Amino acid sequence: MADAKVVAGATRLKQTVRILNDHWLLTEDAWSDVVRRRFEEAHLAPLAPAVDAAVAGMQKLADVLDKVRRDCSDRSEPS
């Protein structure tokens, strides 16, 4: 099982970008011109690949942290 706190961080990143996209879609009716498209390309489009890379990095880190805990813990040790 991967590190719960790091997995929670990855989940939070995915949720927040989804919420932001929902907010952006809500502006579509009120703002739909070339400026909007340029704003989207410059400031919002780069977020999705950045989030994907971060989530993948977090998942990998979560597995490592979990393995560290399991390998270096004493099963008889009170937690």
Partner 1 sequence: MSQAEVRSIDALRDFRAALAVYGDDVLAALGAVDAEIRRTGQWLSQDRPYYWQEQIKRRRERVAAIRADLFRLKLQKTPEHHPSLAEPKERLRLAEAALQDAEKRLTLTRKWQPALNQAVLEYHGAVQRLKDAASIDVPRATALLTRIVEALEAYLQVQPPDGRGAGETRATPAMESIAREAIDHDEDQKKEPIPPAPKEAP
> Coil, helix or strand for 3?
coil
Interacting residue with partner 1 among 1, 2, 61, 79 (CB under 8 A): 61
Based on the shown chain and the rule CB under 8 A, indicate whether residue 2 belongs to the binding site for partner 1: no
CB 54 within 8 A of CB 12: no
Structure tokens at 2: 């991967």
What single-letter amino acid sits at 62?
A: A
Based on the shown chain and the rule CB under 8 A, indicate whether residue 78 belongs to the binding site for partner 1: no
Q: Which is nearer to partner 1, 1 or 74 (CB)?
A: 74
Nearest to 7 by CA among 62, 70, 48: 62
CA gap 67, 54 in Å, rounded: 20
> Which residues lie near partner 1 (CB under 8 A)?
3, 5-6, 8-9, 12-13, 16-17, 19-20, 23-24, 26-27, 29-35, 38-39, 42-44, 46-47, 49-51, 53-54, 56-58, 60-61, 64-65, 68-69, 71-74, 77
